[in-house]
Amino acid sequence: MIYGIGIDLVKIDRMKDAHEKWGLRFFERVFTENEITYCFQKKVPYPSLAVRFAAKEALIKAIGSEIAVNMKDIEIINQENGKPLVEVKGKVKKFFNTKGITHCHISLSHEREYGIGSVVLEL
């Protein structure tokens, strides 16, 4: 049974602009160390950052306004085959356990200007 769905769209240049303005400070507030390392290993990190930011926002939308979420409690990783996967920690993990959320399906995509993330939470 579906608990919630969420989708979010992020302009890739927002990530580039944030990096130029704030350096890594902005990224360190919203991304885990693993996410930052993964994205900055790429020649152009901004599309990967944008889709991860969008996915975190999508997950927050899927939860609804039931809890305040620290974005670092949501980590978007890639399996060896490249498939994205969500790992939750802290208050988000506790929320999942309390509500009986057993699966978090995620899809990421980007093109020239935009990154998108969608999430389906399943009981």
Give me the residue spans of the domains in the chain. Answer: 2-122
Query: Which residues form the catalytic set?
Result: 61, 110
Q: What is the pLDDT of residue 65?
A: 84
Of all residues in the chain, what percent carry a pLDDT higher than 70? 100
pLDDT in tens, 54-106: 999 999 999 998 899 999 999 999 999 999 999 999 999 999 999 999 999 99
Identify the burial level of 11 via C-beta atoms within 10 angstroms of its C-beta, where 0-12 means exposed, 13-18 middle and 19 or more buried: middle
Confidence check: pLDDT of 46 > 90: yes
CATH superfamily entry for domain 2-122: 4'-phosphopantetheinyl transferase domain (3.90.470.20)
Q: What is the pLDDT of residue 66?
A: 86
Bridge-based pairing of strands 114-122 and 84-88 is: unpaired
Mean pLDDT score of the chain, rounded to an integer?
97
